[in-house]
Every structure is written in C-alpha cells, then in structure tokens.
Chain A
Amino acid sequence: MANEIIGAIEQAIYLIVTFNPELIEITIRSLYISLSATLIASLISIPVGGMIYYYDFHGKRTLINLIQTLYSVPTVIVGLFLFLLISQQGPLGNLNLLFTPEGMIVGQVLLILPILIGFTITALIGVSNQIKELAIALGANAYQTIITIVKEARYAIMAAVILGFGRAISEVGVAILIGGNIRGFTRVFTTTISLETSKGNIELSIALGIILLAIALIINLILNYLQGRE
C-alpha cells in the first residue's frame, strides 16, 4: 500500500515536470468539457432556481423533492439515457453528438443541473425573507427581486457551482458512454484512470488521481479569489 502511494506520487511529479504531452492534452480536454458544462448548467440553473424560489405554484414542493432526488442519479444512467437519445438510432442521432467532447458537455450539464438548481433554491431560501419582502415593497418586479436575492446568496450559489464542477470533472459514467474514451479525442482524466486501472497500471492511476485533485484545487482557489475580490 505505502509503496504504491509513494510510487504514485513520484509518477505524478514525473508526469508534471516532464510536461508529458498526453497528460497536458487530457488536462486541457477535461477542463474544457467540465468547465463548459458547469458554465452552461449555471446559466440555466440560477435563473430557473430563482424562478422556482420566487413563484408559489401548485406542486412546488413535489418539484423540489424531485430535483433533490435526482442528486442521486447514477452517472452511468445519465450516460445511458443520453446515449439512447443521441445514438444513430435515437431521436437526436442526426446531431452526431455521440463520441464527441460536445456530447460529453451535454451529458455533464444534464448530470449536474439538478444539483445546481436544487442548491440554488436552498441558497436563496437561506436569504432572509425580509429582503424579498423589502424588495417587493420598494416596487421591484419579479426579475429585479430575484436578482437582488441572488446577489445576496452569491456565496452559497458559488459553493453550488464548485460542487457541480466537482461532480462533472470526477464522473466517469457519462464520459465513458458518451465520449467512448477515444484516445486523443474524448479521453479525459476519469476515463484514463479507469483504463489504466484495467491495464494494471495502478500507480499511474493514482498519480492521475493526484493530478486531478491538484487541478481541482487550483480551480477552486481561482474561484475563491474571484469571489473574495468583490
């Protein structure tokens, strides 16, 4: 156990300092896919979460329960569902999205949308109701009120975005089913790790895991810096 961990750390350092071209390529691709997915999902979920929070409607509780249930959906099931949609025989087969990075982005958006919407709602509920009432009393319309509350809840929403990014970059179900783990085209961190493990290169797999975490750390530091600057 200890030997393998030490070996993995050595390999991780070796891969980084030698600028291993395959590692750089995989890193850029993983970040492109998961950051795009996080961005798109955030752009959808913050307004949608805001509207669900703001408006009272029949079945609101059920809808929130449903969204929260979807937090637990296995990544492979999201991958399979999308696969059936965009496979050549599926209704959206003509889009040619299967086995492409763009298809993977769509899959990861679907995967993290429930978390982002759900946590946005929770974040907004966390803001004192007085602010909502005050905004309405001052004559704000729905749009202005939601903007005000979202601004108040920005730290909690940022936490949701970071969580969504974490789920996107660490998932393997969508990446393998929609991406297909094609070398030089759709191979990302998680699919490389699973391939190297099945090849028996355990140290290399752990090394890749360590590098993935290091990159996640850098992304989180950047996001926190941006947040703190305001």
Chain B
Amino acid sequence: MNNRMIAIIVAIIIIVAAVGVYAFSVSNSPDTSKLRISTTTSLEDTGLLKELEAAFEKKYPGVDVQIVSGGTGIAIQYGERGDVDLMLVHDKKREEAFIKEGFGTNRTEFAYNYFWIVGPADDPAGIKGLNATSAFEKIAEEGQANPDQVKFVSRGDDSGTHSREKRIWNNSGVGYVNVTNQTWYIESGKGMGDTLILANEKNAYTLSDSGTFLAFTKNGKIQLVPLVTTGKDLLNIYAAIPVNPDKHPKTNVEGANNFVNFLVSPEGQQIIGNFGKQQYGQPLFIPVPTNPLPSLIVPLLSIPA
C-alpha cells in the first residue's frame, strides 16, 4: 500500500466523520425520550429514586429516566450548565439562588425528613434531649475541654448536609469559622457513608441525613446512635426544580414537569411515604402533598421544537 492511498483513505474517513458530527450536532431540539435528573447522593443511596423511577417509567413508557447523583454542589452545576433537565436537591438557599439567576423555572417541595445529630452511645458531651444549636454549643465546649473524648466529624464537602451543619454552627453561639481550626473538629471531605464510618472509628459526633444513617446501622457497620432528631434547625426539605428552557433550549421540559407532577401526585406521594417501612421499620421520608405545577407552564411544552 503506498503512502498516497493511505492519505486518501485517511482524508475520506476524516470528511465522513466531520459530516457525521456536523449532522449530529445541528439538531437543537430537546430529546423527549430521555429525562436526565441530577440529584444528591442521599436520595440515590437510600433507593427511593429507584422506586420512583420504575413507577414513572411504567406510567410514561416512552421516557428513559437517567439519574445522575453527586453532592448538591455538583448536582446544581449540572443544572446550571444544562446537562440535566431536572434537579432533586435539598439546599433551599442555593435552590433559590438558582431560580433567581434564571436557571430554574420553579421549586416544588415533595418530601422532607430530619437531619440527625448522631454520636457515641455513651454521649460524652451530654447532648441528648437538647435542641440542635444547644447540642452544637455543648459539643464545642466539651470538645475544647476534652479533645480526646469529644470529637465532631464534618462532611466538609459543600454538600447540602455540610451547608446545614455550617448553618447550625452559625445559628448557635459558636460560629462556623471558630470550629474549623479546632483539634476536635475533623473534616472528612467525603460522602455521608464514609463520614459515618469515620465518625464511628473516631467515636465522634456527626450530622447525618436519617436515611443513610439508618441504612448503616441496620447492617451493623456503625454503632453510633441518634441523639438529636427533630427541631426546625434539622428540617430537611427535598425540592424538585426543572431547568429553564430559556437558558438551555435542549431541556426536556415536558419530561421534567411530568416527573414533578408525578412526585406530588397521590401515587408518587404514596411511594415516598411508604419507602423504607419494610426495610428499616420506619419511613425515611415524609411526603409533602402540594398542588401540581401551575398550568401556565404547561403550554410551553406544546411549542414545536
């Protein structure tokens, strides 16, 4: 084979590939056969989304739901960049900023539970029965006095859970900036599961979503116990936000709105409310019955692409 032949073949391959890529890329219409959802690890890890996805796909057989899970931070990034059609997250401040900047159309709350302050069964700082902010004050105080006995492990990863932890420190008299350089304060920089394992190893306190915590205690991986489990500071609300098609024209708005409506429908709410009863003896989420999305958004869907 001479060099000229090779050059011609290579040139043909390149031209064909370039034409193919171009033809592929000019389509700017949303792909309604796929619904991409970014979510936080806590929703994915518990297995709730798997059930919701199965029920939704049964109802809308033409749609393939694809769930991408990460921390709240990256989940929101995916939404801002238009890489997903819908976000299911739990960080109200950042959600509101997301909508204010025009990336999301609206915010629908569909479930809630509580963050739990968990720690060693002997409770060395004595926080049991306190409210969240007093418990954190107590941990800081005892940790200062006794850094070998009283420790706190933080996610330290800018996740929804970490945001909440910061807020509780700031709402308490301690202040987040005053704890990060303390010897009793340990940052794991990892997901909830790894953080729980680390807290268990160190016999430390930590803030956890109840779902992940129950999953870990159930299979005997950790011996920590829940110490503070209710109160306004610990309320953890999950919301759904469709990505704004004005920012990203390829967004599958129809699929996103259908999914949100499904989440708040009696069927979706029943799945949410029953989830975990069988496996953990108690539901992991409490459904939030809300009205379906206002109808004024729906006409958007019928605009031909």
Contact = CB atoms under 8 A, between A and B. Distances in A.
A90 B83 CA distance: 10
Interface string B31-72: 100001000010011000010000000000000101111100
Contacts of B45: 195, 198-199
Contact of A95 (B21, B68, B82, B194): B21
Contacts of A200: 193, 196-197, 212, 215-216, 219, 221-222
A180 B215 contact: no
A99 B3 CA distance: 39
Most buried by B among A88, A89, A94, A176: A88
Interface string A80-99: 00000001111001111011
Contacts of B166: none
Nearest to B22: A94
A198 B21 contact: no
B92 interface: no
B69 A199 contact: no
A99 B66 contact: yes
Contacts of B25: 94-95
Contact of B248 (A88, A90, A96, A180): A88
A199 B193 contact: yes
A155 interface: no
B250 interface: yes
A14 interface: no
A88 B66 contact: no
Interface residues of B, number: 35
A182 B193 contact: no
Contacts of B83: 87-88, 98-99
A201 B197 CA distance: 12
B66 A198 contact: no
A199 B215 contact: yes
A: interface residue count bin = 20 to 34
A183 interface: yes
A202 interface: yes
A17 to B, nearest CB: 23
Contacts of B219: 200-201
Most buried by A among B31, B36, B81, B197: B81
B194 A197 contact: yes
Interface in B176-217: 191-194, 196-197, 212, 215-216
Contact of B41 (A87, A93, A198): A198
Interface string A185-205: 100000000010111111000
Interface of B: 3, 21, 24-26, 28, 31, 36, 41, 44-45, 50, 64, 66-70, 81-83, 191-194, 196-197, 212, 215-216, 219, 221-222, 248, 250
Interface of A: 87-90, 93-96, 98-99, 143, 176, 180-183, 185, 195, 197-202
17 contacts: A87-B83, A88-B248, A95-B21, A95-B24, A96-B31, A98-B83, A99-B68, A181-B68, A182-B67, A195-B69, A198-B191, A198-B193, A200-B196, A200-B197, A200-B212, A200-B215, A202-B221
Leading 10 A-B pairs by shortest Cβ distance: A94-B25, A180-B68, A88-B82, A198-B193, A200-B216, A182-B66, A198-B191, A89-B81, A87-B81, A200-B221
